[in-house]
Structure 1
Amino acid sequence: MRKIITNTFMTLDGVMQAPGGPDEDTDSGFEYGGWSVTQWDHIMNDAMIEAMKNPYDLLLGRVTYEIFAAHWPLLKDDPTADMFNRINKYVATDTLTNASWENTVLLNHDTIKQIKSLKSTNGIDLQVHGSSNLIQSLLQHGLIDQMNIWIYPLVIGKGKRLFGNGTVPSNFKLVSHAISTTGVIITSFEANGEIPIGSFAL
């Protein structure tokens, strides 16, 4: 069975919208796009290389896919671009009917059923980058095996959040962590069953 691993940049108040640039996602008038860019350091770079070193395919929502498809194919002699262009890209979408980026597979009939079928096969892991709406669906159906969450020392107050309305209560186990020189907390969690309930009452 393939693992589904999400990779998310998130503020202290849970916002994950448009970390990479002002025009990345302005939905609902979001005006803080690019909030993660100035925080980058060598520790984060090393952590990103480590997270992406093993073979994987991409599982993306439509918006993130279109952002990637407009960027990565245009880069030349770039290791990440070469990898993203080469590997399979599975896109969860109700609206996209064709795609020109090489090795793209559209999941646009019964998306969750198709993702479950894909996950059940033998193969390399599926990495999700960004894709806030897709992550909500994956959480609701208990399909996420590992969450890599980078928590930035920022509070924005509005925007798309990692854990939105309808998130199913779940238990996760912290498996690794580091802190960048800029105060970004780099964490990795694995799914760990249901929430254990206890009591401090005498």
Structure 2
Amino acid sequence: MRKLILNTFLTLDGVMQAPGGPGEDDTGGFTHGGWSVNYWDDRMNQVMGEVMGKPFDLVLGRKTYDIFAAHWPHVPEEAGSKPLNDATKYVASRGRPTLEWNRSVLIEGDVAEGIAALKQEDGPELQVHGSGNLIQTLLRHNLVDRYRLWVFPLVIGSGKRLFPEGTLPSGLKLVDSTVSTTGVMIGTYEPAGEIATGSFALD
């Protein structure tokens, strides 16, 4: 059985839209693309190297797939492209696009059912990068086994959020954490069942 892991860059107010550049995703008139770029340091490079340093396959939404496919096949191996180019890319799309990046596979039929079936197979872990619309489907169907959240110290105030209104309530358990020299908090969480409530009221 394979675990499915989200790797998501977030602002402090939960926005995940277009962290990598101005042209990445301007849906809704978003004007802050590239907000993560100036925070990178050696610690973040180390953590990302560890994430990419073990076998994995990718599960991507169509927009993120197109961004990756336009970039990574043209990047030299010494710049970190080999793990992404070698991974099998499972792509969720409402259409039937031509997937020209090596080792790309369209998820046929219902996306949630297709990904649930992938998780039952033998193989390396399944990593999700970006893919905001796809993530909402994964959350609705409880398909996420681990959240690796990179929380950047800035507030944008608008944009696509990882946990929008209507997200199913659930508890999470912190299993690992570190902080970059630039204040980026990298936390790894696992689902922890239903939310346990209580009260500070005196009897």
Q: Provide, for residues 144-188 of structure 1, a one-character-per-residue CA deviation record: whole Å limited to 9, x for no partner.
A: 000000111100011100101221111110011111111111111
The alignment's C-alpha RMSD in Å is: 1.2
Q: Distance in 1 between matches of 2:113 and 2:25?
A: 27
What is the CA deviation profile of residues 65-118 of structure 1, one whole-angstrom value per residue up to 9, with x for unaligned ones? 000000001112335312211110001111243211110010142111111111
Cα distance between partner residues in 1 of 2:55 and 2:151? 25
Who is 1:158 aligned against? 158
User: Secondary structure at 1:71's aligned position in 2?
Assistant: helix
Kindly report which structure 2 residues correspond to 1:130-145, keeping only aligned pairs within 5 A, or say none. Answer: 130-145=130-145
SS at match of 2:50: helix
1:102 aligns with 2:116: no
Question: Which residues in structure 2 correspond to 1:1-202 (within 5 Å)?
Answer: 1-78=1-78, 80-201=80-201, 202=203
**Partner SS, residue 10 of structure 2:** strand
TM (norm. structure 1) is 0.96
Given the two structures, how large is their TM-score scaled by the length of structure 2?
Answer: 0.96
Number of residues paired by the alignment? 202
The more displaced of 49-58 and 8-17 is 49-58
Cα offset for 1:123?
1.6
Unaligned residue ranges in structure 2 (runs of 5+): none
Query: Letter of the aligned partner of 2:48 in structure 1?
Result: M
Which SS does the other structure have where 1:151 is aligned? strand
Distance 2:104 2:78 in 1: 20
Residue aligned with 2:80, SS? helix
Q: Find the aligned partners of 1:40 and 1:97 in 2 and give their Cα distance.
A: 33
Distance in 2, matches of 1:154 and 1:96, equals 37
3-state SS, counterpart of residue 142 of structure 2: coil
Unaligned runs of 5+ in 1: none
Alignment-mate amino acid for residue 85 of structure 1: N
Cα distance between partner residues in 1 of 2:192 and 2:52? 23
Decide whether the 8 Å contact of 2:52 with 2:83 is kept in 1.
no
